[in-house]
Structure 1
Amino acid sequence: MYRWNPEDYSRHSAGQERWARELLRGLNLHPDDRVLDIGCGDGRITAELAQRVPLGRVVGIDLSADMIGFAASRFPAAEYPNLEFRGADARTLPFDAEFTVVYSNAALHWVRDHGPVLAGIARALKPGGRCRMEMGGRGSAAALIAAFERVLGEAAWRDDFQRFEWTFGFHDAESYRRWLGEAGLNPERVQLIDKDMVHADREAFVGWLRTAWHPYTSPVPAERRGLFIDAVAERYLAGNPPDAAGCIHVAMVRLQVEAKR
């Protein structure tokens, strides 16, 4: 797995947080819901979930021990008695009919094979329970990925990527509907949606590249990684310059999923 820096992520994940809140607004929680947040990251949204279910319980899981430790320290049990953070793998969820709601934002595209994930969600939900999730979808960040691919093919970086492996799972809606059904979940809405990821300036854009694109950045030795990220940023901005306000835009595709057990 990749090594995450929770503090750095927290500073450079404004776009993910904005979309997480959009997803949260449509969740229509009940005060006694029991909620599982898959890929809770730094815990900001998970803590909000806990505040919205004062009679219920929220469990936030993440594969990163660093993220779990950071989230637990920021949102301690003494202040959030109905909130718990656990280290867990989305592919092997250790729950059986414990939750009425599963929520996940900007996390599941880190998994290529979603069959085990969806089977685990179906097991984790109580009968009649529901999931609402958003992740990167087919075609997301195509221009940025093209910039990464151009730079990693250059002589200065080619040797670092001899064993490069694509680890993102950017899936289409049709396949996802089928996988939901195979897992025992009834699809209610599965849709690809175009979204604009906006960064306030070059510094924010580079911070996002550093914290959210590990498959492309982790192969480069730490002492050269900043130079590589700068080269990718320059390549991207050459074809996608900032707007009049200095903001940098990245065209993203999000896969939104709603289903019931």
Structure 2
Amino acid sequence: MTPTVPNPADPVNPADPSPAQGPAQGSGRRAAGGVGGGLVWDPQRYLAYADERGRPFVDLVGRVDALDPTVVVDLGCGPGNLTSLLADRWPAAAITGIDSSPDMVRAASDTKAAARIRYAQADVRDWLEQAPEGGVDVLVSNAMLQWVPGHLDLLPGLVRAVTPGGWLAFQVPGNFGEPSHTLRDELAAEEPYAAHLGGVAVPSSHDAATYLRALQGLGCDVDAWETTYLHVLRGPDPVFTWVSGTGARPTLQALPDDLRPGFEDELKRRLRSAYPDDGQGVVLPFRRIFVVARKARQA
């Protein structure tokens, strides 16, 4: 079932929405929707458990009380399946999806909703350098910032890109202390794998209060919260399937072909032990951190 974004009020659609400003091409640095460094994202693998991955996006955007935005940007749009919900929510807005991964952008451009959405490839830092001040009414980023080292430093630029009275909404995972991540880290530190995995991208995030205080310091009115979802996953090695499309992907891609199958088999074994299947599916607790900030209006 495809999730829908709840709308707090019927939007008043402008007759002539302004076109979104196009970003420059990405430079390959650690970036929106990807981590750079030659990492190739697999849209089909990412879309496994798409409904479970999509629910936080719906919960996030449902708290954005924007009635008639003209320009909406999805920063780190991935394969575009969730960006289309923004076009449904605000049909008169110019919607742009940005991702650093060319594979994700190609997949997004092939979706049925692509006629209503402009997609472009760009790194988040490059995009921020090109984005006009106050040019975006609603800026959304779903599960992307955790891939950007030092992403708190991006917050001033993100706020700068938002129009006065506009909205910045983002969500990041907060489960990096769970076995789904720590078991991968432990195995990656063992030989023969460790010799190949130095410097591999590892996602990270902060607690909700850290984001709240940082954005308050930038003059925003902030709503921050966290939720732990209990996803019931089915199928063979479902937790491995989940992490191999996101958090574990840089590790798996960094391994040589002769070592990758052994690493995968051992990680699957450890994950099965940590997340047993009782015949009713595997329960994966997943903590996520949400922030919705409204930029101060000009005096």
Any idea what the Cα deviations from partners look like across 1:175-201, whole Å, max 9, x if unmatched?
Answer: 22233244x241422233323343222
CA offset at residue 102 of structure 1? 1.3
Q: Tell me the distance in 1 between the aligned counterparts of 2:240 and 2:275.
A: 14
Partner of 1:236: 271
CA offset at residue 136 of structure 1? 1.2
Tell me, yes or no, if structure 1 residue 178 matches structure 2 residue 208. Answer: no
TM-score (norm 1): 0.86
Report the 3-state secondary structure (helix = DSSP H, G, I; strand = E; otherwise coil) of the residue aligned with 2:83: helix
Cα pair 1:29 1:52 within 8 Å, conserved: no
Higher helix share: 1
Partner of 2:4: none
Letter in 1 for 2:176: S
Report the 3-state secondary structure (helix = DSSP H, G, I; strand = E; otherwise coil) of the residue aligned with 1:212: coil
More divergent stretch after superposition (105-114 vs 12-21): 12-21
Partner of 1:55: 92
Any idea what the Cα deviations from partners look like across 1:142-179, whole Å, max 9, x if unmatched?
Answer: 22222113322333423223x14453122122322233
Any idea what the Cα deviations from partners look like across 1:56-84, whole Å, max 9, x if unmatched?
Answer: 1111111111111211122465x32xx21
Q: Tell me the distance in 2 between the aligned counterparts of 1:252 and 1:76.
A: 29
Q: Tell me the distance in 1 between the aligned counterparts of 2:263 and 2:286.
A: 22
Choose which of 46, 59, 67 in structure 2 pairs with 1:9. Answer: 46
Q: Would you say how many aligned residue pairs link Structure 1 and Structure 2? A: 254
Partner of 1:260: 294
Cα pair 1:210 1:229 within 8 Å, conserved: no
Letter in 2 for 1:186: C
Letter in 2 for 1:3: V
Cα pair 2:230 2:285 within 8 Å, conserved: yes
Letter in 2 for 1:219: A
Cα pair 2:72 2:95 within 8 Å, conserved: yes
Cα pair 2:159 2:168 within 8 Å, conserved: no
Choose which of 138, 141, 160 in structure 2 pairs with 1:104. Answer: 141
CA offset at residue 235 of structure 1? 0.6
Change (3 A) 1:28 1:207: same
Partner of 2:125: 91
Report percent identity of matched pairs: 25
Tell me, yes or no, if structure 1 residue 148 matches structure 2 residue 190. Answer: no
Report the 3-state secondary structure (helix = DSSP H, G, I; strand = E; otherwise coil) of the residue aligned with 1:155: coil
Letter in 2 for 1:89: D
Report the 3-state secondary structure (helix = DSSP H, G, I; strand = E; otherwise coil) of the residue aligned with 1:194: strand
Report the 3-state secondary structure (helix = DSSP H, G, I; strand = E; otherwise coil) of the residue aligned with 1:190: strand
Q: Tell me the distance in 2 between the aligned counterparts of 1:173 and 1:156.
A: 37
More divergent stretch after superposition (52-61 vs 198-207): 198-207
Q: Tell me the distance in 2 between the aligned counterparts of 1:243 and 1:154.
A: 30
Cα pair 1:135 1:254 within 8 Å, conserved: yes
Q: Tell me the distance in 1 between the aligned counterparts of 2:158 and 2:49.
A: 29
Q: Tell me the distance in 1 between the aligned counterparts of 2:69 and 2:167.
A: 14
- 1:162-177 correspondence to structure 2 within 5 Å: 163-177=198-212
5+ residue gaps, structure 2: 1-35
Cα pair 1:12 1:211 within 8 Å, conserved: no
Partner of 1:158: 194
Report the 3-state secondary structure (helix = DSSP H, G, I; strand = E; otherwise coil) of the residue aligned with 2:107: helix
Cα pair 1:6 1:66 within 8 Å, conserved: yes
Q: Tell me the distance in 2 between the aligned counterparts of 1:59 and 1:136.
A: 23
Letter in 2 for 1:124: A
Tell me, yes or no, if structure 1 residue 249 matches structure 2 residue 286. Answer: no
5+ residue gaps, structure 1: none
CA RMSD in angstroms comes to 2.3
Report the 3-state secondary structure (helix = DSSP H, G, I; strand = E; otherwise coil) of the residue aligned with 2:277: coil
Change (3 A) 1:120 1:223: farther
Tell me, yes or no, if structure 1 residue 20 matches structure 2 residue 57. Answer: yes
Report the 3-state secondary structure (helix = DSSP H, G, I; strand = E; otherwise coil) of the residue aligned with 2:139: strand
